[in-house]
């Protein structure tokens, strides 16, 4: 039904779509170092977004009635930028895998 290259492309695309945050596609390709770096990178991005979020401290638990009164930490823009960049790279890799499926 499918050729070997098509099966490989579909498998990698499935692993990318399910496990992009933990680098399953990288581990499948035999690139353990890149997989571990992917886990560390996404953990830092998501952890720092949680840490720098405006509702993280207890100050906002009682006194603030609406989101417009919250002060946004400007340091939250750094992990947000890295997260958007990483997400765009995941989408780019997905399109690359779709093109390799189409051409095989």
Domain that holds residue 10: 4-54+72-103
- Bigger pLDDT: 42 or 69? 42
pTM of the model: 0.71
**pLDDT at residue 63 in the model:** 59
Tell me how many domains the chain contains.
1
The answer for residues whose C-beta is within 8 angstroms of residue 43's C-beta and 6 or more apart is none
Taking 70 as the threshold, does the pLDDT of residue 83 lie above it? yes
Residue 43 confidence class, pLDDT cut points 50, 70, 90: very high
- Assigned domain for 61 exists: no
Check whether 58 has a pLDDT greater than 70. Answer: no
Residue 86 lies in a domain: yes
Question: Does residue 67 form part of some domain?
Answer: no
Instruction: Specify the 3-state DSSP secondary structure of 70.
Output: coil
Inside any domain, residue 92:
yes
Q: Looking at residues 49-62, what average pLDDT do you find?
A: 67
* Domain assignment present for 63: no
Tell me whether residue 82 is in a domain: yes
């Amino acid at each position: 039904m499918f050729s070997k290259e098509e099966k490989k492309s579909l498998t990698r695309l499935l692993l990318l779509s399910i496990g992009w945050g933990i680098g399953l596609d990288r581990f499948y390709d035999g690139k353990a170092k890149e997989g571990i770096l992917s886990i560390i990178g996404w953990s830092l991005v998501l952890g720092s977004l949680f840490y720098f979020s405006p509702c993280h401290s207890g100050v906002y638990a009682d006194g603030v009635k609406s989101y417009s009164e919250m002060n946004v930490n400007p340091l939250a823009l750094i992990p947000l930028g890295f997260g958007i960049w990483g997400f765009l790279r995941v989408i780019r890799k997905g399109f690359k895998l779709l093109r390799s499926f189409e051409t095989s």
